[in-house]
A and B are shown apart, each in its own frame.
Chain A
Amino acid sequence: MRTQTIRIAHLFPELLNLYADQGNLAVLTARARARGIEVKVVPIKLREPIDYRQVDLIMLGGGSDREQRVVSEALASYAPDLRHAIEDGFPFLAVCGGYQLLGHSYELTSGELLPGLQALDLVTKAGTSRLIGNIAIELPATLKLARSTVVGFENHIGRTEHAHQALGRVLAGHGNNGVDHAEGIFLKRVIGTYIHGPLLPKNPHLADLLLSYALAYRGDERTLEPLDDTMEWLAHDQMLARLNVARKERLEEGE
């Protein structure tokens, strides 16, 4: 079955929009349209219900501590359905604060514990300094994407730890906690990451991966036709060069 429209639920945009999530939405929308697929963004305000039958992809961004506290207080009502959806392979993009909220809890510098969605087995604790700067990571080989690097910017005081597969191995920058060289999380069809900048413009392979996840969840297994991403890869490669990371291209593997 070919899908005509991808519906993206943007969670709590009135609170969690610190790192230009509009940019991620703009990229997903434009890249879907270039393949003749419409995108409908459904903003879901805090305390409004999510109807999982009516959406194909969820995006959760980051906010300030104050805003994350407001969100955290209202998360309990979402948790059971969301856990179930993730288990079921529902595609999910969570960035910065959104990534932290997927876990058990976020412990602030003050010691205060903000409960998370408890959807993934990860915990976050505030550190003593912010981890800030440009970052490059290498994606797991199992993903088999045309390019294996992801670049962007990170800025977080939270140190996240988990035992799942990371989104990538840190080539330059800090990652989840600045210690174990892991960045983000990659589980079922969930991508959680500290990388913004925003994430998707300079990483078109990830954008297409999310789009194909959204299609696949509805049973549409098509391969997205390639687009002209000269400009995207130029920006990507410039950042790799700045970070002294060698450009990595995965060789096409036969079917």
Chain B
Amino acid sequence: MDVRSWIAFVVASVTAFVLRVTKRAGTSLPGYLATRISPNLLFYVLAKLDRCVIVTGTNGKTTTNALLKSLVAQDEAWISNAMGANLLQGILSALLPELTWRGQLRVKRAILEVDEATLPRLTQRFQPDMIIVTNVMRDQLDRYGEVDATLGYLYESTRDETVLLVLNADDPLAASLGKGRLNTFYFGLSDWPEDDLLRQEVRDGAFCLQCGGELLYTRTVFGQMGHYHCPICLAQRPFPQFSMRVRERQEEVEIHEEIRLQSPIAYRVTSPLLGIYNAYNLLAACSAARLLGVNPARFEAGLAQFTAPIGRMQTFPGNPPRILALIKNPTGATMVLRSLEGTLNGDPLCFVINDADADGRDVSWLWDIDMESFVLRSPHVSGWYCAGTRGADMALRLKYAGINPAQIQLLENAADTLKVNAEEGGSVYILCTYTALHPLANRLEAMHT
């Protein structure tokens, strides 16, 4: 370790210690200070890893990361940035506690969630063993420029063909990263309960990346996910070595595995999370675990240990119970709303929309949420509440989706959503962006313990 890195390490360790003692959870602060002092420290630590898996993509990174950890870390410890702090400083913050004063790592395996725009800066100097790309969709536009820019970052980061690449075959954008590439595996759904043909969603990959032709879908899952082909250049959805069958209202899913020169096998897994988007996260995690050599017979035991990351629709018990969900882009928000369609029964629905850097400063995405379908199918919302720095924008979004403005209430503070009450037996649903998530979760923890 060079001197600067050592100083960076000392500063970060002291900071982490102070934060721990004063019980302030600043997830990335030690790593932030350390990267400011020495950009080399991160790469010094990464080089000490025996095994490193990177999870990236627009939606599902944190959940896939947590699922994969539960599958692989049954006998041996793995480091992970489970809190979703996925920029360089967050990654370093997760690794540093395992670094000894002699500069050795106590735990030499890591699953790291990495932001798509950050990934090239990491892979410039470090090659992991595996990269998983969950999907490529429209995120906060101001941070990424455009979907194409994101795809560019990912393409650049996955050119070393010694790295195992695990891609979503059902997403034409993510799948395009593997074209003609060695050491590439795909996962995808073979069957699912309901196709959505009528929803007005944004299809980000609706055009063939090879020839520009409009893709044809024989089946659709959500967003641009589905079974597609290009009628012009005949490009096709790649064959997924790992395919999953999801059945209506069943937690048990079936994975079929067919790898070249190996006999096909099939196994059943109980999904710990609801929602079709979580089926993809589970499938991505299981595919990666298989490629890392985990026996599928051990999947159940691992998943039993799984706890959902914060903001994935946890219920905070109480009177009324409150459910917290993170929303950060149109497809993710549409999926969260869709999973609420059958559940809401005269319950209030709150939105906390901030526009800090981590949330995305451009709130255009609120208008790409398929709010209209939700309003049509879920009339049983007792009240609509909006808060956050862009609460007024959300209120307008609701108004123009057809909600009576008299039913929409603008709250001054994000914390006011915790004062919203439900009728007897009901729950309060709170959908919020990233910077509102942890403050709300902390308050909810405090309220209910």
Contact = CB atoms under 8 A, between A and B. Distances in A.
B401 A130 contact: no
A153 B362 CA distance: 6
Interface in A46-70: 64-67, 70
Contact of B364 (A15, A23, A130): A23
A243 to B, nearest CB: 13
Contacts, number: 84
A17 interface: yes
B395 A64 contact: no
B273 interface: no
B367 A20 contact: yes
A201 B142 contact: no
Residue among A26, A30, A134, A196 having the largest count of chain B Cβ atoms under 10 Å: A26
Chain A interface, DSSP helix/strand/loop, else mixed: mixed
Interface in B203-232: 206-207, 212, 214
Interface in B365-387: 365-368
A153 B397 contact: no
A14 interface: yes
Interface stretch (A110-118, A138-146, A175-183, A231-239): A231-239
Given A130-B145, A153-B142, A153-B363, A201 B214 contact: no
Contacts of B396: 201-202, 231-232, 235
A175 B207 CA distance: 31
Contacts of B395: 231, 235
A153 B392 contact: no
A133 B392 CA distance: 18
Given A134-B361, A231-B395, A23 B400 contact: yes
Contacts of B206: 14
A234 B393 CA distance: 9
A130 B214 CA distance: 29
Residue among B362, B366, B399, B401 having the largest count of chain A Cβ atoms under 10 Å: B362
A19 interface: yes
A91 interface: no
B141 A235 contact: no
Interface string A17-36: 11110110011001000000
Contacts of A133: 142, 361
Given A30-B400, A231-B395, A64 B148 contact: yes
A18 B142 CA distance: 12
Contacts of A22: 200, 367-368
B364 A17 contact: no
A168 interface: no
A76 interface: no
B393 A201 contact: yes
B405 interface: yes
Contact of A18 (B146, B200, B214, B399): B146
B202 A17 contact: yes
A64 B147 contact: yes
Interface of B: 141-142, 145-148, 200, 202, 206-207, 212, 214, 361-368, 392-393, 395-397, 399-401, 405, 408, 410
Contacts of A14: 206-207, 214
Residue among A18, A70, A230 having the largest count of chain B Cβ atoms under 10 Å: A18
A200 B141 CA distance: 19
Contacts of A130: 145
A241 B368 CA distance: 26
Given A64-B146, A70-B207, 12 more contacts: A20-B365, A64-B147, A130-B145, A132-B361, A132-B362, A133-B142, A134-B361, A153-B142, A197-B363, A201-B367, A228-B405, A231-B410
A23 B367 contact: yes
B410 A234 contact: yes
A235 B400 contact: no
A231 B141 CA distance: 25
A157 B144 CA distance: 13
B405 A20 contact: no
B393 A155 contact: no
6 contacts: A14-B206, A67-B207, A157-B145, A201-B393, A201-B396, A230-B405
Interface string A176-216: 00000000000000000000111001100000000000000
A201 B361 contact: no
Contacts of B141: 18-19, 155
Interface in A5-23: 14-15, 17-20, 22-23
B46 to A, nearest CB: 30
A155 B200 CA distance: 24
A201 B364 contact: no
Given A201-B393, A235-B392, A235-B395, A26 B400 contact: yes
Contacts of B401: 26
A64 B147 CA distance: 8
B207 A15 contact: yes
Given A18-B141, A26-B400, A238 B392 contact: yes
Nearest to A200: B400
A194 to B, nearest CB: 12
